[in-house]
Chains A and B, each alone.
Chain A
């Protein structure tokens, strides 16, 4: 089945530790995105990538880092510099990243920092 996978579904980390969230897609999409969602809130864009080895900051990139070494993979690292990392993280992809492209979302990873 084609789709976007995120793992793990739930993740717990101690304060001050970096943690990397996985996102893989087998849709052959060029563009991938990371969003953050807080309780009762909408989604906010963290980073996006239109093509391999290229990525751009979104609205709330501070304290996060990404890489795009392969088309299928767009891991997100939540660093210790992120002041409030506990949230629901969603990865998405679209065919080209163009303005009319529909974004397809993964199931999300709920990160809790203790």
Chain B
């Protein structure tokens, strides 16, 4: 199963872009990269996902390297409400159900 590694924590100034890296060097060709975030004591919130092309939605952008061994989640203008733990997840396997493995994530602190 592919696994991810992320920095334990990061700081970002309010209004600046937050760039959160993720390494997934053993990712398979048909596995997607998902990003979720979790604000303290709440359920995780879906942010974005992608396969190999860069993706953008109203929340964030996802940049995946050409070799797909790493990716970066970009929050273009971080606000205090973006303070959360961010999880980079690789879909494992082709079966239903056991397809999301959440690691410890990156704790992002947006500072005023």
Q: Which residues of A contact B (CB under 8 A)?
A: 4, 6, 31, 33, 35, 37, 40-45, 48, 50, 56, 58-59, 88, 90-92, 96-100, 102-108, 110
Task: List B contacts of A43 (CB < 8 A).
Answer: 44, 100, 102
A-binding residues in B (CB < 8 A): 32, 34, 41-46, 49, 87, 91, 93-105
Chain A residue with Cβ nearest B47? A102
Chain A proximity of B29: nearest CB distance (Å): 14
Contacts A/B (CB < 8 Å), 29 sampled: A4-B43, A6-B43, A31-B97, A35-B102, A40-B104, A41-B104, A42-B101, A42-B102, A42-B104, A42-B105, A43-B100, A44-B102, A45-B98, A45-B100, A45-B101, A48-B98, A50-B97, A56-B97, A90-B44, A92-B44, A98-B96, A100-B91, A102-B34, A102-B46, A104-B46, A105-B44, A108-B42, A108-B43, A110-B41
> Hey, which chain A residues are within 8 Å of B46, CB to CB?
102-104
CB distance from A9 to the nearest CB of B (A): 9
- Beta-carbon nearest neighbor of A47 in chain B: B97
- Nearest CB of A to B99, in Å: 5
Question: Contact between A108 and B100 (Cβ–Cβ < 8 Å)?
Answer: no
Which residue of chain A has the shortest Cβ distance to B97 in the bound complex? A48
- Distance to closest chain B CB from A2 (angstroms): 14
Are A99 and B43 within 8 A (Cβ)?
A: no
Across the interface, B42 reaches (CB within 8 A) one of A35, A102, A107, namely A107
- Check B98 against A88 for contact (C-beta < 8 Å): no
A37 to B45, CA, bound (A): 15
**A83 to B34 CA separation, bound complex (whole angstroms):** 32
Say how far A39's CB is from chain B's closest CB, in angstroms: 11
Inter-chain pairs besides A58-B98, A105-B45, 7 sampled, C-beta below 8 Å: A42-B103, A50-B97, A56-B98, A92-B44, A102-B34, A102-B49, A104-B46
